[in-house]
């Protein structure tokens, strides 16, 4: 059996990569907590037209396909940015012509060619993905507990014991999103009718965020999801690895590339951009593993 391990924080293939092993690469948008609501009154929360959100994208890639994706992505990087050795496709930076991509602001011809190459790369790549978003305002409206002064103090229990009543500063939105993302990953793998397995890979964001993501994963791993018992879940989804951004995995970059366009196309009640260079309707929608986007609550 072929073995994939993490050595020194880096995922390595010790023999060869085969078709019955899958990676779930994660990316996220905005903050995984409700701390912003500490400064709002109940009235302000209910009347605000633009809502705050949090979301996670999960890109599923067969281990056997990683080499081809790496080759094609490096070819694009070498063509447009040959002098940058560790270029990372960061969608919002490309869209806003900033940081490593600041030159695109003064060179629209290059930007057009570069973004078209990225769009074609995403369209032609072998992956499936899912996205789960939390509408923080709707969550607080439905489950929030306010004190006599109109300040949010707690969130009521949501469904199962996985989501107990919690203080605002302790509320972990990773748990809400990751539950569905892992459920889709489990179903995707088990529907292959193979003895397939998978691991989850996420980029490090910060000490607190990484700890909260690990806590959410381990809680789901321990208790299971809906009708998926924990022992079966652990047989299929082996572990979560949080890796430094500097390791430049194409899987986490793809998770980033699909997230923002999906967010603006599928989630309402926020400032929506219409200048995306990767089309949700024409490209991404066809790659959804569950054919729809989940918005909580």
Q: Which pLDDT tens digit goes with each residue over 89-116?
A: 999 999 999 999 999 999 999 999 999 9
Note the pLDDT of residue 13.
Answer: 47
Residues forming beta bridges with residue 58, ordered by sequence position:
26, 130
Phi and psi angles of residue 66, each rounded to the nearest 5 degrees, phi first: -65, -40
CA distance 87 to 175: 31
pTM (global) more than 0.85: yes
In contact, 52 and 137? CB cutoff 8 Å: yes
| Dist CA 164 CA 175 (whole Å) | 11
183 burial level (CB within 10 Å; 0-12, 13-18, 19+): buried
Q: How far apart are the first and last CA of the chain?
A: 42
Strands 197-203 and 237-243: what pairing? parallel
For residues 201 and 24, is the Cβ–Cβ distance under 8 A? yes
247/249 Cα distance (integer angstroms)? 6
| 223 — pLDDT class (breaks 50, 70, 90) | very high
- pLDDT tens digit sequence for 239-252: 999 999 888 899 99
What is the structure's pLDDT at 191? 93
pLDDT recorded at residue 165: 59
Q: Lowest-pLDDT range, 83-87, 148-152, 161-165, 288-292?
A: 161-165
pLDDT for 206 equals 93
- Long-range contacts (CB closer than 8 Å, 24 or more residues apart) made by 224-232: 225/179, 225/182, 225/183, 225/186, 226/183, 228/183, 228/186
Q: Which residue has the tokens 């789960």?
A: 132
Please give the C-alpha separations between residue 6 and each of 11, 12, 50, 145, in angstroms, as whole numbers. 4, 6, 42, 43
- Cα–Cα distance between 154 and 157 in angstroms, integer? 10
Mean pLDDT of all residues in 212-223: 96
Q: What is the pLDDT of residues 154-196, one digit of tens each?
A: 888 887 656 665 667 678 899 999 999 999 999 999 998 778 9
Strand arrangement of the beta sheet that strand 144-146 belongs to? 144-146, 152-155, 166-167
The pLDDT, as a whole number, for residue 248 is 86
* pLDDT score of 16: 42
Q: Which residue has the higher pLDDT, 278 or 157?
A: 278
Q: CB within 8 A of 212, min separation 6: which ones?
A: 32, 33, 172, 174
**Domains in the chain: boundaries:** 4-296
Q: What is the mean pLDDT of the chain?
A: 91
* Confidence band of 254 (pLDDT split at 50, 70, 90): very high
pLDDT of residue 100: 96
The whole-angstrom separation of Cα 124 and Cα 222 is 37
Residue 156: predicted pLDDT: 86
């Amino acid at each position: 059996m072929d073995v994939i391990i993490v050595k020194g924080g880096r995922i390595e293939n010790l023999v060869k990569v085969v078709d019955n092993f899958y990676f779930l690469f994660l990316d996220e948008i905005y903050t995984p907590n409700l701390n912003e609501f500490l400064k709002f009154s109940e009235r302000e929360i209910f009347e605000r037209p633009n809502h705050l959100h949090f979301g996670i994208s999960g890109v599923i890639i067969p281990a056997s396909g990683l080499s081809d994706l790496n080759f094609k992505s490096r070819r694009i990087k070498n063509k447009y940015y040959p002098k940058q050795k560790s270029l990372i496709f960061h969608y919002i930076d490309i869209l806003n012509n900033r940081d490593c991509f600041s030159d695109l602001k003064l060179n629209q011809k290059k930007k057009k060619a570069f973004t078209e190459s990225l769009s074609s790369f995403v369209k032609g790549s072998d992956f499936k993905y899912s996205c789960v978003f939390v509408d923080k305002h709707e969550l607080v409206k439905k489950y929030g507990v306010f004190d006599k002064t109109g300040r949010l103090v707690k969130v009521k229990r949501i469904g199962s014991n996985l989501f107990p009543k919690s203080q605002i500063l302790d509320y972990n939105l990773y748990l809400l999103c990751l539950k569905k993302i892992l459920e889709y990953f489990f179903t995707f793998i088990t529907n292959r009718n193979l003895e397939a397995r998978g691991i989850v890979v996420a980029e490090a964001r910060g000490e607190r965020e990484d700890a909260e993501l690990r806590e959410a994963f381990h809680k789901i791993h321990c208790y299971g999801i809906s009708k998926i018992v924990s022992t079966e879940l652990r047989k299929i989804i082996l572990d979560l690895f949080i890796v430094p951004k500097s390791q430049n995995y194409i899987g986490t970059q793809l998770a980033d590339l699909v997230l923002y366009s999906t967010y603006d196309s599928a989630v309402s009640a926020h400032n929506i951009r219409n200048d995306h260079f990767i089309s949700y309707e024409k490209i991404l929608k066809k790659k959804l593993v569950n054919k729809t986007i989940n918005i909580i609550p």
